[in-house]
């Protein structure tokens, strides 16, 4: 069975989509079978991976209008299920009993086909994020070393606690990944210390690998490529590679499930 990992943070602009894309592509390049799911109405992952089309999207997946196996798009950096703009209507349209389990049920038939399924969630705690968390084994929180990210972590943890109580008792916070990081500023150092203390209180950790601020990320997005393809020798490519290696090495966190 695959490991399902949601990349989540209520705060936008923290590199959530970039991290989801890098994780999916990086694992695929290491020989793992990976599936990247875009559950964000903004569709940044869909845009970058060039998988947008007139075909079925995660909206059809959640509304039971299409099956997961029929909408998977294969790329040279892993498989993708794209998002559609109609996802923005999800909170209004997905209202029936069992609405929290739509994604989990849709993914069950394909879980054995992958080692990892990575979900890019929207920067909001609505039905889309709830579906992602209810379907996931782990959550990774990308965050910047600032006070708003710290608030976003707290809000997401409250949502996770509710999900664990009512929908998915096995959900685990895998770790916090610092992104757009600048270790040279005093403020960043102070906020990093605060986030690390928060992680300890939550019985989790901050990854040793930190993703540095880099123009190469924006350039890669503009060229609709992952950082590994656009700038494979850049510092930020090295940072994401180190993060993925660290994630794989922490396979003991899976509580007896298939090791990473």
pLDDT in tens, 164-218: 999 999 999 999 999 987 766 655 677 888 888 888 888 889 999 999 988 999 9
Q: What is the pLDDT of residue 125?
A: 84
Number of Cβ within a 10 Å radius of residue 75: 15
DSSP-derived secondary structure letter, 66? S
What confidence tier does 251 reach under pLDDT thresholds 50, 70, 90? low
The domain spans of the chain are 3-254
DSSP-derived secondary structure letter, 85? G
Distance in angstroms (rounded) separating the CA atoms of residues 110 and 106? 8
pLDDT in tens, 37-94: 999 999 999 999 999 876 889 999 999 999 999 999 999 999 999 998 899 999 999 9
pLDDT in tens, 100-156: 999 999 999 999 999 999 999 998 889 999 999 999 999 999 988 778 877 888 889
Q: What is the pLDDT of residue 187?
A: 55
Examine the pLDDT at 240 and tell me if it is beyond 50: yes
Distance in angstroms (rounded) separating the CA atoms of residues 227 and 177? 17
Q: What is the pLDDT of residue 188?
A: 65
Number of Cβ within a 10 Å radius of residue 41: 20
Examine the pLDDT at 256 and tell me if it is beyond 60: no
What confidence tier does 252 reach under pLDDT thresholds 50, 70, 90? very low
Q: What is the pLDDT of residue 260?
A: 38
- Please state the length of the chain: 260
Residues 6 or more apart whose Cβ sits within 8 Å of residue 225: 48
Q: Are strands 73-75 and 78-81 parallel, antiparallel or unpaired?
A: antiparallel
Examine the pLDDT at 259 and tell me if it is beyond 50: no
CATH fold, domain 3-254, is Rossmann fold (3.40.50)
Q: What is the pLDDT of residue 255?
A: 41
């Amino acid at each position: 069975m695959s490991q399902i990992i949601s990349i989540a943070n209520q705060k936008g602009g923290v590199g959530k989509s970039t991290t989801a894309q890098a994780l999916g592509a990086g694992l695929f390049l290491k020989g793992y079978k990976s599936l990247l799911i875009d559950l964000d109405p903004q569709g940044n992952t869909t845009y970058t991976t060039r998988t947008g089309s007139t075909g079925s999207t995660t909206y059809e997946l959640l509304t039971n209008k299409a099956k997961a196996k029929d909408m998977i798009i294969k790329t040279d950096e892993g498989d993708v299920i794209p998002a559609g703009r109609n996802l923005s209507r999800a909170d209004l349209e997905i209202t029936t009993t069992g609405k929290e389990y739509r994604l989990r049920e849709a993914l069950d038939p394909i879980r054995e086909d992958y080692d990892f399924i990575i979900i890019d969630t929207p920067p909001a705690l609505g039905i889309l994020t709830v579906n992602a968390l209810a379907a996931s084994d782990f959550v990774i929180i990308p965050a910047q070393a600032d006070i708003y990210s710290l608030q976003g972590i707290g809000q997401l943890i409250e949502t996770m606690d509710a999900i664990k109580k009512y929908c998915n008792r096995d959900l685990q916070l895998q770790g916090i990944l610092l992104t757009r990081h600048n270790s040279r500023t005093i403020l960043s150092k102070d906020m990093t210390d605060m986030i690390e203390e928060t992680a300890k209180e939550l019985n989790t950790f901050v990854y040793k690998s930190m993703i540095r601020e880099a123009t190469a990320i924006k350039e890669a997005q503009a060229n609709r490529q992952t950082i590994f393809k656009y700038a494979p020798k850049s510092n930020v490519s090295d940072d994401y590679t180190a993060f993925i290696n660290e994630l794989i090495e922490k396979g003991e966190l899976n509580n007896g499930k298939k090791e990473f």
